[in-house]
Structures are given as structure tokens and as C-alpha cells.
Amino acid sequence: MTEEGNVALANFPQPAYPRFEGKWVMVTGAGTGFGATLAERAAAEGANVIVHYNSSAEGAKRTAARIEARGRRAHIVRADLKSWEQIKAAAEEAWEVSGGLDVLVNNVGDIATDQMSWRDIREEVIDRVLAVDIKGTMLMIHEHGERMLARGKGSIVNIASTVVVRGSPRAPQYAAGKYGVIGLTKSYAAAFAPTVRVNAFGPGFMETESTLTREDWLNGRRERVMNQTPMKRVPPPEELAAAALWLATSEASHMTGNFIMCDGGYSMIGA
């Protein structure tokens, strides 16, 4: 996979240690946003990467080009994660190409960005969000986890959200979907132990392209979030990627069924 011209590589704030040297990592929704950053961070740490996308074909190509510019292999697969048949086909392709995945990062999640209030909720949006966030995540864990169990090793990281702590008056179906991801994480962690670890990572607000263009973000929400965040800033996705991927490394070998957050203190919770 190549791209004409120079390939701009992310300048990650943390050092990139070779924690995934010689391993294969699959990241869903890796054409844009946090998924693209996770894919490139994995490559910076030595991984070959399966780049999944559904609608962002050009973005997936750009992500693959950045991975290959780091001297790693990249392979692109497409699947609508609302479809079990497409998930099965993408899993078969990913495992055939890689010879066996070491890490799956379930990053895809529909956050209903076009909905600005619970008053605007529509049944088709509820169905879409829950189909992607819960059904899609569950089937990805199911298909790849089953193969990891047969292989005898593997790690799965599900990208959840701090919304499970604070809720979402804007899009309650999104909060419900991410609560579902926590339930899936715990359930499959118990089912797959001790062979395959399953954990969840909850990023706080990040300045991704989709966030920066949201109507509410441009009309005061960014300032409110920063005022309520002890660290007093909203970071770029590069600042959170290493923390998410840490859950899949040997450094977290005794962690499974866990949920960790990285949000600058925005959602501090008690014991």
C-alpha cells in the first residue's frame, strides 16, 4: 500500500517502545479519528496492522500508507459491523493475511454526532447506535476471540467511553451502547480466561476531526469541558493512544475484565 508524495507521520508525545514487535494488531474504524491514531501508534511500536474501515476507504489508504512508511505491513479490510456475515468475512481475511492476530482493538462506535439533544432522538438512530456499539463489538469479540482461543493466545481492547460515568443527556442511546461494551468486556473476559485477555479503555474528550466540527463543540462546550477538567486541556488523540494499547501488552498481563479511563480527571470516581 503506497501513497503519492510524502507521508506525514504522527509525532507521538510518548516514546514508542517496540512492545508489539513482530505482532499483528487489528484496529476497527482505522480510517479516521482515534482508530487511525491507534493503528499508527501500534505500527510505531513494531506492529503489522490490519486496518478496518466501513465507509472511509480513502482514510484507510492513508492510514495504511503511514503504517508502511514506518516499515510495517498493513492490510485493509472492509466490513459493516452491523452485519455478522461481513464481520465473519473480514475476520477470515484478517486471519489468513496475518497468520494469526495477537491483538484486536474494537474502536468503532457510533456516537450519533448529528444529534444535539435527547429531544431529537429517532428510532432509526437508536437502532443504528446500538447495532454498532453493542452488536458489532460483541460479534467482533466473538469471531476473533474464538480464533484466539484456538491459537492459544491473544488480547482484546474495547474502546468504551467516560460516558458510562457521567451519562449523556445529548445522546442517551450512546451511553447505553457504551455501558453494553463494559458488560461485553467483563463477560468475555470471564469466558476467555486465562487464554485471552479482554479489557476496556475509556478515553475522555479528544480533539479529533469529528469533535472539532461538531456544532456543540463550536458553541461553548469545549470551554465548559476544559473548565471541568482538572488537567485544563483537551488533548489530541495521539496523547491517549499509547495508554489504550498498553492494555494489550505484556506489561498488563494480569489485567482482564478491567475498565480504565484516561480523561484528565474529568470523570473522577470513588472506590
* Residues noted as catalytic: 174
CA distances from 233 to 206, 220, 228, 266, 268 (A): 9, 14, 10, 10, 16
The residues facing 154 across adjacent strands are 196
Q: Are 184 and 192 in contact (CB under 8 A)?
A: no
C-alpha count within 13 angstroms, C-beta hemisphere, residue 60: 19
Using CA atoms of 190, 95, 53, 35 in order, give the dihedral in degrees to the nearest 10.
50
Q: Are 173 and 118 in contact (CB under 8 A)?
A: no
In three-state secondary structure terms, 259 is strand
Let me know how many helices (H) and strands (E) the chain has, helices first: 11, 7
Query: Cα(67)–Cα(55) distance, rounded to whole angstroms?
Result: 20
* DSSP of 186-253: HHHHHHHTTTEEEEEEEE-----HHHHT-HHIIIIIHHHHHHH-TT-S---THHHHHHHHHTTSGGGT
Q: Which residues contact 187 (CB under 8 A, 6 or more apart)?
A: none
In which order are the strands placed within the sheet that holds 74-78? 74-78, 48-53, 24-27, 103-106, 154-159, 196-203, 259-262
Query: Cα(193)–Cα(68) distance, rounded to whole angstroms?
Result: 34
